[in-house]
Structure 1
Amino acid sequence: MLLSIPLTGCYSKPAALAPQVASTGESLSTIAQTTDVIFYDLQLVVLPSKKKISGIGKTMFRVLKKTQQVELKLDSRFSIENVTVAKQSANFSHQQGVIIIDLYEAKYPGEVVEVAISYSGHPHEATNPPWSGGFVFSHTSQGEPWIATAVQGEGCDLFWPCKDHFSDKADSMRIRVTVPTGLSVASNGVLKKIMPLKNNTTEFDWFLSEPASDYNIALNIGPFERIQQQYKSINGTQVPVEFWALPENSHKATMLLNDDVYQQLAFFESVLGPYPWGMQKLGFVETPHLGMEHQTINAYGKGYTRDPSGYDWLIQHELAHEWFGNLMTHEKLNDAWLHEGFGFYMQPAYSLFKFGEAAYNHAMYTAYLGLKNCHPIVKQGKVTSKEAFNADIYGKGGWTLHTLRWLIGDELFWQAARELVYGQTQTANLSYPIESRYRSSQDFIDIVNRITGDDYTWLFDVYLKQAALPTLTMERTNTVIYLSWSNSEKDGTAFKMPIPISINGKLTTHTPVDGLITINAKKSDIIVIDPQMKVLRQLPIISQCQQQS
């Protein structure tokens, strides 16, 4: 048996997060692989004046492999008062953020085990939310507590005991949070009950009935005004809409919903399919940090400011993640571009839908100027969350999709996107609940190849799996132009990418043969290669690797 390690008395708060706590989605231990989480039940008391939380986190596991132990994670700055298995006290250890609980007897595949952990302490405070996450303790302009959590990189174990791995989503979760009366709690799922308690406190009881990555579970506390509306989805369902805004901004929040959000939703549904969580809600909450894609309760902290793009880019980006990230989740951190590359690309795609080509091209050109080209989008081997979320999975991932869309055409491109997310291309009439799924980069490549009837592995190998961009070199004589692709990281492998070329204003597309394009042209002819920048390639306007920038 494991012995209980006391964490009271001589316990001192660690100065920094333990490595196992600081990064979510780390490889599962042998013990963690023996169970599947069915249900989380989190009951918390938040004391804003003390920046402290206390509560009980219950987890129901289904056993996958014979085991006598289960594993959860919780930041070691919390004191654990008690652990029970099936309501009986259990032995446990809590080291470097990892809790190992003894079950007293072996459990076999198919059995269900419930553990409960009572804990309390001062949660890690975010240093630069949402990028360096944790609890965000702030105040409104009136001096009232205004609190949020943002833990995408670090994970749920910063404030509650959980498995802390996106590959094991609980089927459902209950979230009960008690706060001083006068404050509200906005969280995931559906608000089932608001219950006044003693000592001038109130409990908010939320229930999330569909699977969600545990880093997506969020607490948002403040003197909010709850704005409630409905949105008619493409499948005919009236979807509940909620915006939890600070009272002085309730009018701005209402205008944002009516003048912007619903137009964005219409775009997403037209090219993808129904909003994924129509049985729960489409939710937003005003936060003291910029924002984060918390499933059904997206954090919004941009201040309701108008964008040069003509729409609210933050709302649009977080909405995109309800499809790319929450409904479709990457299998491994290596494939994080499936979240962020698509999440990024949906903004210029929306600009094209709403304003036309000039807005789209402006967004893509701006993104191109920001490319780093220092790391592959899809790294091989083990990666941490901080390594996975490098800058290029956003812009370079989006540019990969831009070039792919030009190459295979709009119809096939959006078919591939729909199949990636929903598992099928005919989605408009899908009913709720909609099944969530895990995907890899190879899954998307296979989908593209099957839908197009061609093999585009060469494209993804270059754009996703190497850092450097391909370069198109031109040599010119009095009568002929020679264009050749050079691929510094894959020497000897011909790059098959076609290229649009304008000759005296006439645009035609040329496909290389063995990496070479030959065009008859006079010395006086005006040649412009890829005038609309359809193809992702190295241009002198950016360096090969802007790692120092």
Structure 2
Amino acid sequence: MRPTLLALGLALGLGGTAFAHAATTTPTQPPLTALTKDSGTPMPAAQKRVHFDHAALHITVQPATQSIAASATLTFSATAATDVLLLDLDRNLPISAVAVDGKPLAASDWSNPDGRLKIKLPHALAAGDKVTTTITYGGKPHVAKRAPWDGGFVWSHTKDGQPWVGSAVEGEGCDLFWPCIDQPDGKPDLVDLYVTVPKPLVAPGNGVLIGVTDDGNQRTYHWRAKHPTTYAVSINVGPYKELHGEYHSRFGNTIPLYYWYLPGEDTQAKALFAEFPRMLRFFEAKIGPYPWGDEKMGVVETPYLGMEHQTINAYGNHYAKDGSGFDWLMQHEFSHEWFGNQMTNANWDDMWLHEGFATLMQPLYARYLDGDAEYYGWLHHLRFLIRNHAPVVSGTSKTEEQVYDPSGPGQDIYNKGALMLQTLHHLIGDQAFYDSIRLLIYGRPDPKPGNFVPQYRTTADYMRIVDQVTGKKLDWFFKVYLYQAALPKLDVQRHGDTLDLRWQVPHHLPFPMPVDVQVGNTLHTVQMTDGHGSLAVPADALVTIDPHSVLLRDEPRITEFLQWRDQQRAKHVARK
């Protein structure tokens, strides 16, 4: 979830005002290096030579000084011979010591001048060897100016002045507060997160709570999470109250449910918590098993809008009501447990796999709850958010910033991605569409709790899966919608009793997309071989093209409106 989602919420009349009851602080701070600021820069060869087995993160959060004191013990398996470890960590968190396999290293054996920590190993590793390094560090982590759009820590306080702290680092990456491999495919197999906080504060975290220990005026929470997405490891600290329950899944397992919220919000919190079971019911019926059922479905109230932190989704929508009957923010972030955390894009260039699917889940959920009117209302508003400035997918490696930047695909990874998938759904049918999603998410057609593992996926993977499921070659569909900036345009002409239809496609690419035509009370499907088709139509007949609004296409009425709206905004700005 990033800034484009707020734009979606506001456009739909669905958003609340962020930070309505949170006073945040953004102190003067040193700038991030280019390497730390950009998540997903090309992975160095040395990082490709290791597999990330385990991270034990000990983080003491000190709200009074807005600082952390931390150590990270990281275990790797060599996949190829190597004599160095390369990790990512913000250089503005000074390192005081580094050890390898329990033995301290001299300061000359490690360096972190630009945010890439280089550790010289005392002995070279062969493929299959393991190595453990412990890094002791701390200081003032980067503070988000406007989380979650700008990443970092949020140091806030509740209405009665108690500390309220959260992290949101999707854009800049995990290296803002722990040493990691800042890549979508840099996940550790297992993370043990120990968060120490002043009493009586609470520290909800990823995965399963292993235990809580007291030490004087401090308390340490130990959480354990399997295969967490790198930016989804999170810090949450506050005077939280807790709601908990259980969900008995259609797949036979029981899923723990938790919501941590601020005191004084019991009525709203219970109403939000009541949404958890029906969201699980929808996703498990439509997609498949909740991926983290042996850990928990967790949500924590945060001093920023939201983020898809694995099993501990951040929620800061202030219980806003919008008439939709569900909390749009929580539902979107929960979608990412499948589209983002279980299935993770292998490169930021494929980020539409997270956001396009997660965005489509909202109109589909609205239809499940309240029928077609809500479904088409959502789709209608999404259509007015598409910009077509750049292709959704470039086919080259991208950083997070390049993808989300308005000069790149930006918001289109959400809205264009979702509407493209709606068109695909119509093209291939219900069975094939959901079969393709299950293969994308779980790597198998018959997912059950315990029989699948997390997947790294690319756009090419999904194209291959759709071809496999349908038995057809549909690359023409994706090449137009994902790899071209402009939408296809349907030219419609009537010549006497003949209706002529022709697709106008960038670079004259093949696009044999069938077109539904309503003639009076009869629905016809016109096959568009070579991008062209025709239909005999009585001259006096009423004709509606695409009567069920399933085709994502360039439409002059929308273009004219968007141009007019931009002009009005420019005039408004000029008058100020």
TM range (shorter): over 0.9
Does the CA contact (< 8 Å) of 1:44 and 1:56 recur in 2?
A: yes
Describe the superposition over 1:217-258 as per-residue Cα deviations: whole angstroms up to 9, x where unpaired.
001000001211111112111111111111212332222122
Does the CA contact (< 8 Å) of 2:40 and 2:398 recur in 1?
A: no
Describe the superposition over 1:336-395 as per-residue Cα deviations: whole angstroms up to 9, x where unpaired.
111110000011111122211111111001000111111111112231102223110101
Match of 2:474 among 447, 456, 469: 456
One-letter amino acid of the structure 2 residue matched with residue 490 of structure 1? H
Say if 2:146 is the partner of 1:131.
Answer: no
Q: 2: CA distance between counterparts of 1:543 and 1:159?
A: 44
Does the CA contact (< 8 Å) of 1:234 and 1:273 recur in 2?
A: no
CA RMSD of aligned residues (A): 1.7
Query: Between the two proteins, what is the percent identity of the paired residues?
Result: 37
Say if 2:71 is the partner of 1:39.
Answer: no
Residue 75 of structure 1 corresponds to which residue in structure 2?
Answer: 90
Q: 1: CA distance between counterparts of 2:455 and 2:511?
A: 32
One-letter amino acid of the structure 2 residue matched with residue 525 of structure 1? A
Where 2:60 maps in the other structure, the secondary structure is strand
Match of 2:330 among 292, 307, 315: 315
Match of 2:110 among 80, 84, 92: 92
Residue 411 of structure 1 corresponds to which residue in structure 2?
Answer: 431
Residue 245 of structure 2 corresponds to which residue in structure 1?
Answer: 229
TM-score (normalizing by structure 1):
0.94
Q: 2: CA distance between counterparts of 1:471 and 1:440?
A: 27
Match of 1:242 among 258, 275, 292: 258
User: Structure 1: 5+ residue runs without aligned partners?
Assistant: 1-12
Residue 59 of structure 1 corresponds to which residue in structure 2?
Answer: 74
Match of 2:235 among 216, 219, 228: 219
Describe the superposition over 1:474-515 as per-residue Cα deviations: whole angstroms up to 9, x where unpaired.
12222222111101x222x33101111122242211111322
Match of 1:203 among 220, 240, 253: 220
Describe the superposition over 1:69-96 as per-residue Cα deviations: whole angstroms up to 9, x where unpaired.
1011111111111111112122201111
User: Structure 2 matches for 1:28-427, cutoff 5 A?
Assistant: 28-90=43-105, 91-198=109-216, 200-208=217-225, 210-258=226-274, 260-389=275-404, 390-427=410-447
Q: 1: CA distance between counterparts of 2:542 and 2:350?
A: 42
Q: 2: CA distance between counterparts of 1:383 and 1:14?
A: 27
Q: 1: CA distance between counterparts of 2:484 and 2:324?
A: 31
Describe the superposition over 1:395-448 as per-residue Cα deviations: whole angstroms up to 9, x where unpaired.
100011100111111121111111111122233xx1236411111111111111
Q: CA deviation at 1:14?
A: 6.6
Does the CA contact (< 8 Å) of 1:272 and 1:414 recur in 2?
A: yes
Where 1:323 maps in the other structure, the secondary structure is coil
Match of 1:485 among 499, 503, 510: 503
Does the CA contact (< 8 Å) of 1:74 and 1:99 recur in 2?
A: yes
Deviates most, 381-390 or 536-545: 536-545
- The number of residues matched between the two structures is 530
Q: CA deviation at 1:166?
A: 2.0
Q: 2: CA distance between counterparts of 1:83 and 1:201?
A: 26
Does the CA contact (< 8 Å) of 1:369 and 1:541 recur in 2?
A: no
Q: 1: CA distance between counterparts of 2:396 and 2:454?
A: 26
Does the CA contact (< 8 Å) of 1:165 and 1:213 recur in 2?
A: no
Does the CA contact (< 8 Å) of 1:373 and 1:469 recur in 2?
A: yes
Where 1:543 maps in the other structure, the secondary structure is helix
